[in-house]
Amino acid sequence: MNSQKWILFGVVTVLIALSAAFLNRLQAGRKLGQPGLKMVDRLVHDENSNVIGTNTVDLPLRVLDYDSEPLPVSMAELGWLPSDTTYGRRHYQNPFGHWVDISVVLMGTDRTSIHKPEVCLEGQGWGIERSDLIFVQVPRPQPYDLPVMRLLSPPKRVRTESGEIDTYRAVFAYWFVSDHRLTAKHGERMWWMARDLITSGVLSRWAYVAYYSICKADEVDTTFERMKEFIAASVPEFQLVPGPDSGGMPVAQMEGKP
């Protein structure tokens, strides 16, 4: 029995050593992929108005009848996410008071920049009552169905600026994009990233794109329909991937296809 334990210990030790050597080899030889989003040189600030970056996602300044303003990156995110993370963030509002925030987190060489999106909603003080995979038809540059994960919070009683108490819900929609793929499933993104790294030595540079709004509890359906229209109009302005799967071909190569 003792000899069997020693043999098992030896096998496990060898497997761990081989795995570590394999991962180190991948780490040393890997290349970082290109983002699937348009990037622009523009200052990014934290909550204290300090400059924390000079490169960001080129989110549109105006969408439909919504004007926008930049949003700062929270100190909590800066303390939690890797230093080579790139952010894109804007608040949009139309003349009727309807609003939506776009938040983008783009990973660098550290894969931990992208986490389970449900953490974001819970971190803002909202629980999750329901999640649904839905599809938003995006008309440009060619019509395609964008996979989106929709999260809906439970009702929450909130005191308004006038002092009244009303019931609200948070509506949250997200997906992930690399230079040639789209998915709304965190596990699928992880699988594709690992497969690409092993087969090609390329660490795909995934981004997490999220849309967020708050509405009265009885206005969820109307709010999400507006959000879908907003997504369809805004996505072609900053996202380069023209469909859920570009056949494994990076955008840079696709642009040269006839």
Give DSSP secondary structure letters for 39-80.
EEEEEEEBTTS-EEEEEEE---SEETTEEEEE-PBPHHHHHH
Please give the sequence-ordered ranges of beta strands (E in DSSP) within 116-225, or none if there are none.
130-138, 144-152, 156-159, 165-177, 182-183, 202-203, 207-216
Is 241 exposed, middle or buried (CB count within 10 Å of its CB: 0-12, 13-18, 19+)? buried
253: CB partners within 8 A, 6+ apart: none
Q: How many CB atoms lie under 10 A from the CB of residue 70?
A: 16
pLDDT at position 49 over 80: yes
Mean pLDDT of 169-179: 94
Average pLDDT, the chain: 83
Mean pLDDT along residues 131-147:
93
Q: What pLDDT score was predicted for residue 13?
A: 60
| CB neighbour burial string for 98-112, b if at least 16 within 10 angstroms, e if fewer | bbbbbbbbbbbeebe
The pTM for the full model equals 0.81
pLDDT at 2: 59
pLDDT score for 158:
79
Cβ proximity of 54 and 25 under 8 Å: no
